[in-house]
Amino acid sequence: MAEEGAPGRRGERGDEVLAERGPGAAFHMFVLMEDLLDKLKLLSYEEEALRRHNMRPLSRHYFALPTNPGEQFFMFCTLAAWLISKAGRPFQQPQEYDDPNAVISSVLSELRSFGRPVDFPPSKLKTGCGEQVCYVLDCLAEEALKHTGFSWKRPAYPTEEPEEEEITEDDAELTLSKLEEDVVEEESDNEENYIDLNVLKAQTSRSNMNDNVKQEEILQSTTDAAEWNLEVERVLPQLKVTVRTDNKDWRIHVDQMHQHKDGIDSSLKETRGYLDKLHNDISRTLEKINSREKYINNQLEHLVQEYRSAQALLREAKEKYQEGSGGVTERIRVLSEVTEALEKVKQETEEKGSSMTDGAPLVKIKQALTKLRQETIQMDIQIGVMEHTLLQSKLKEKSNMTRDMHATVIPEATVGAY
């Protein structure tokens, strides 16, 4: 239970660390990976590192996302070794079957020798992806760039002079909205130039009087014809009204379909000849292949027959071999059973022979007899002692009885005791 709870606590601590670093901490490794890829391109890693090991170029998020741990770890070790050697330190190129712990420890020791802090466990690098892997490679790439003499400079932006935009209005196109605006302006001008009726009558009367005076004169225009034509050409485009077409109109689609059909027809005319020629070449080649195949079959027919007969003989031999191998397997099983029974009999015979030639049981019997004799002697002594004690008690009792029989007076205390 403690082991199950430990990863959960580590995950909670990781979430707390990400929360402390900010909401964008989870995406920091992607930014770091893109910076690393730019630095590797500056170091020409594709020509110097990848082509030597026949590897594909890295993607934008190769070390940021887990895809293939084994491949990513080998790529990490290869790039780390190359960057360390690029930074001027001798470092042996790791092989595919090297100990990963030893490779990681050597890479981290080189990173510490550059003065870079390492505040994470080495096991974070075994997966071959993650923020720690990007950090290690990024630090090594920076050291390699320093060793090659590369330095980052501020970008030099080109000074662009502001261009004066010339607004060219197409007088040949007049929209409806512009036409309406012109009409409104003309109406406003007409309203401003409004003349009273009385004034108009006075003017007409004076003009009639002048006309009566000049009735006999010939009317002749004083305007130049060339200027009149120029004015007409200048004003003529403004008198045209063009309506912009809508791309959703079905007529436009029909026109486009006809245009595409014409393009397809023209392209088909050009490619039909090539396709027919290709078809003829392929047909001739297939005919040649069929004729050669028939010729080869006819020439090798007797070899094919021999091959088939050899296959039949081989099949029969395999069947006989399988039958014989089945009998051999059965006999091997019987032999193993007989061998086991023989081993058991040998073991029993050896046990009985060892028990017959062994003198330990006789020694034990002798010791037991000696012990029985000693115990018998002790029992005899104890029996003698008991007989002597019993004889003494009997003699004492007999002496007491004779003494009581010869006594004439029995004491009162003795009578009371009885």
Determine the longest span between alpha carbons in the chain, in angstroms: 229
For residue 182, the model assigns a pLDDT of: 57
User: Could you tell me what percentage of the chain is helix, strand and coil, using 3-state DSSP and rounding each to the nearest 5?
Assistant: 75, 0, 25
Full pLDDT tens readout for the chain, 418 residues: 333 333 333 344 444 444 455 666 677 788 888 888 888 888 888 887 787 777 888 888 888 888 888 888 888 888 888 888 888 888 888 887 788 888 888 888 888 888 888 888 888 888 888 888 888 888 988 888 888 887 767 767 666 655 544 444 444 444 445 545 554 555 455 444 444 455 555 666 666 565 554 554 445 667 778 888 888 888 877 776 665 656 667 788 888 899 999 999 888 888 888 899 999 999 999 999 999 998 888 888 888 889 999 999 999 999 988 888 888 888 888 999 999 999 999 998 888 877 777 677 788 888 999 999 999 999 999 999 999 999 999 999 989 888 888 885 455 555 444 4
pTM flag (> 0.75): no
129 with 69: CB under 8 angstroms?
A: yes
- For residue 202, the number of C-alpha atoms closer than 13 Å in the C-beta half-sphere is 5
Euclidean distance between CA atoms 12 and 18, whole angstroms? 10
Burial of 177-196, coded b for 16+ CB within 10 Å and e otherwise, reads eeeeeeeeeeeeeeeeeeee
For residue 376, the model assigns a pLDDT of: 93
Phi–psi pair at 60, nearest 5 degrees: -65, -30
DSSP 100-159: HHHHHHHHHHHHHHTT----S-GGGGTTS-SHHHHHHHHHHHHHHHHHHT-------PPP
